[in-house]
Amino acid sequence: MTDEKAAAAANEQSGRRQELIGVVTSAKMQKTIVVKVTRTVKHPLYVRVVRSAKKYYAHDENNEARPGDTVRIVASRPLSKLKRWRLLEVVARTTRVA
């Protein structure tokens, strides 16, 4: 019975798209934003927490995100050479005026 529950849970999760939360670093392109996602990983040898960051190009249809905003992006089909993500929502607005 536990195998059936595990299989059902796996099927439920497989339909969901991957989501990431990051900070917008650039919004100068048309309908495109650059999102910096920071991950924390424990180093296998030194057992210290190491921060690593990666840039993602995301599609922003309405140009609603601004630099400094915290956003949620979701995986999508390839939209261009670099864009494989779409803007899902703006989680928090920045208070900085730039």
Total structural domains within the chain: 1
Residue 39 in domain: yes
Residue 1 confidence (pLDDT): 45
Q: What is the CATH number of the domain that holds 43?
A: 2.40.50.140
Residue 68 in domain: yes
Give the Cα separation of 27 and 32 in Å (integer).
6
Cβ-contact 45, 70 below 8 angstroms:
no
Residue 3 in domain: no
Give me the phi and psi of 72, to 5 degrees please: -110, 125
The parent domain of residue 41 ranges over 17-92
Residue 4 in domain: no
Give this prediction's pTM: 0.80
DSSP-assigned beta bridge partners for residue 96: none
Residue 15 confidence (pLDDT): 79
List the chain pLDDT tens, one digit each, 98 residues: 455 555 555 555 667 899 999 999 999 999 999 999 999 999 999 999 999 999 999 999 999 999 999 999 999 999 999 999 999 999 999 887 65
Cβ-contact 85, 59 below 8 angstroms:
yes
Residue 65 confidence (pLDDT): 96
Give the Cα separation of 69 and 51 in Å (integer).
20
Neighbours of 21 (CB within 10 A): 15
Residue 6 in domain: no
Both tokens of 6, joined, read 């595990």
